[in-house]
Chains A and B, each alone.
Chain A
Amino acid sequence: MKKLSVFLFLLCIVAIGAIKKQSSHQDKVSSLLLYNIEALAAGETMRPVRCLGRGSIDCPASHDKVDYVAEGYSLEKWR
């Protein structure tokens, strides 16, 4: 039984170590690299920002004041 406890303890230590290593590796990825990856991934399937109506929300694309801002060509997801 003592062997089982030691085995479980070591298993947990190894698991924690593996997760920490993975998260520290993620921290090393620069935000510039992420922006570049996002830009490449966006590519031809980039979804434009659409600003609709008249309101007080500052449209990030046109800088007009609009009712709401939507992503993509369709408003289907809102309905």
Chain B
Amino acid sequence: MLPKDTALKSGVSFLFLCLLFLFSCNNSHKEYGKNVFSYSGFLQEKELRGEVIELDTALFRYPFRIRIEGDKAVVMDLHGSEHYGHLFQYPSFRYLSSFGRRGDSPTEMLSMENFRFHNHKVWTLDANKSELTRLDFSSSGDSLLREETVTLDEDILRPLDFAIYNDTTFVIPDYSGESRFLKVNCKGKLIEKIGAIPTANEKALQQARPALAQAWRSFLDYNPHNGVLAAVTQLGEVVEVYNLKDSTHVVRIGEHDEPEFKVSDGYGIPTGIMGFSDVQVTDSAIYAVFHGTSFKEIARQSGKLPDGGKYIYVFSLKGEPLYKYVLDHYIYGIWVDEATKTIMATDVNSDQPILKFCFGSV
């Protein structure tokens, strides 16, 4: 080979390397922090069959949440026509009474996003009135009576979920996108901002933060025994685990990735998939209901698809994927009792909307 050819060849190689360097400098990679991990599978998978609990009342339009404490069960109806909350005897599911009357008056509710048991009382959240309300059990224990209302500060935008941190503090997702969660005291005042949306979408973070926060709407749960606050995204497949005792934070992103959306008129329009719909942190694990249905398919079927998720994902308290339960019903809200290895769930598609799953040992 001629020396001239060799020189030309090395020149072309040099040019190729320069171009490679040039592109690597300008390509926009998804860059996550060191505490962000992806997952694509679970250690074990199991099918669970649901047992339908027969109710003697037809109360529900959209049973969204279920919680049980002692011998009482509360089921929340997201689209309740007269009341948003219904109290039952447990485990018989004998209807006792309803609470959270729908209406415009000061003692009525415009919406109910969620409710929580705390110290044998019930707290409810009305996002449209930006209010938290405490209800106490009557002396007979058969009804819930409105006792206290906390109006949230005006700088707390649209509170779409809440968890009770301790006797005086609530945790609420930050809808402004400036942080991830807000700690709010029992007077409704903002006392602390926690974390940031763990997105790799730098452009949205800089230019469309409110729309980003809408797309990252998350459901949360906090367990004061282990200090774990878990948040799951309604769009996409992101699980965040904050340990508020040791201040660690882990993010797990599944194969459906982070929430997908586009910005229209300043709003975040969902474009990817419907992700999680409920989460519970028990003393030993995190349980979350997962849907996985694309919005394209939901719109194409226009109401013909069953609403809800057919999967319950179980993560460790550090967010490691453990079990995947495949269900024979589409469900929305869950209540996990690890002592009896049962999961109570709500099904918005059925007139008999309460289901019981036994998960035993996997």
- B and A form one assembly: yes
Interface residues of A (CB under 8 A from B): 1, 4-5, 8-9, 11-12, 15-16, 19, 23, 31, 34, 42, 46-49, 52-58, 60-61, 63, 65, 67-71, 75, 78-79
Partner pick for B295 among A11, A15, A48, A68, CB 8 A cutoff: A68
Say yes or no: B4 contacts A1, CB within 8 Å: yes
Closest to B265 in A: A49
Partner pick for A56 among B26, B61, B64, CB 8 A cutoff: B64
A to B contact number (C-beta, < 8 Å): 97
Question: Hey, what's the 0/1 contact readout for B148-162 against A, CB within 8 Å counting as 1?
Answer: 000000000010100
In the complex where A4-B11, A8-B11, A54-B62 touch, is A71 in contact with B270 (Cβ < 8 A)? Answer: no
Q: In the assembled complex, which residues on chain B have CB atoms less than 8 Å from the CB atom of A69?
A: 267, 269-270
Chain A at the B interface: SS class = mixed
In the complex where A8-B15, A9-B18, A75-B299 touch, is A16 in contact with B25 (Cβ < 8 A)? Answer: yes
Closest to B208 in A: A31
Complex CA–CA separation, A46 to B302 (angstroms): 25
Complex CA–CA separation, A55 to B277 (angstroms): 11
Say yes or no: A49 contacts B234, CB within 8 Å: no
Q: Tell me the B261-309 residues at the A interface (CB within 8 Å).
A: 262, 264-265, 267-270, 277, 295-296, 298-300, 302-303, 307
Can you report 12 A-B residue pairs in the complex whose CB atoms are below 8 A from each other?
A4-B7, A5-B14, A16-B25, A31-B206, A31-B207, A54-B61, A55-B307, A57-B270, A60-B267, A60-B269, A68-B299, A69-B267
